[in-house]
Amino acid sequence: MKWNELGSVRCSVARSVAVIGDRWTLMVLRDCFLGVRRFDDFEARLGISRSIIADRLKHLVEEGVLRREAYQDRPVRHEYRLTDKGLALHPVIMAIVHWGDVHYADEAGPPLLHRHRACGCDFTPVMTCSACGESVTAREVEVRAS
């Protein structure tokens, strides 16, 4: 299998990975969830080449994860905002953050804290079952073809 064939496999991981399974794409998405919208800000934060950033942003716009909107007329300048489809990646990014916090934080602890506005508390993400509401671990899940 070639990398660009991943999207055609009948597997939801493969299809998602074809869109977001790239190092810099995930870093761009992290920044989007932190409120970054402008090309120059992505560049300043990531410190990578403009062509890599442009390529990743273009791909995310084509896939409907980000939308490109003008925020200035003369000269025209655009910013990149998460669509609903992009916002739906929040559990993916939060799960990645949490795994990093647990397994790769240094002595100072997690670099960022997340507060749940609805309850006012700092929190970590917990994956729960849509049917019973209880937390779910890997060993409790049985997978079958649909």
For the segment 94-133, give every residue that binds a copy of itself (CB under 8 A): 94-106, 108-119, 121-133
Q: What angle do CA 112, 113, 117 make, to 5 degrees?
A: 140
Number of chain residues interacting with a copy of itself (CB under 8 A): 86
142 contributes a contact to a copy of itself by CB under 8 A? yes
Q: What angle do CA 72, 64, 12 make, to 5 degrees?
A: 155
20 contributes a contact to a copy of itself by CB under 8 A? yes
Secondary structure element (H or E) that encloses residue 13, with its range:
helix 12-20
Q: How far is CA 125 from CA 72, 87, 98, 122, 142, in A?
A: 37, 16, 7, 10, 22
Choose, by CB under 8 A, the member of 23, 50, 58, 77 that binds a copy of itself: 23
Shortest Å, Cβ 77 to a copy of itself: 24
Q: Closer to a copy of itself by CB, 76 or 108: give it.
A: 108
Tokens for 76?
């025209």
Residue span binding a copy of itself (CB under 8 A) among the ranges 54-62, 68-76, 89-97: 89-97
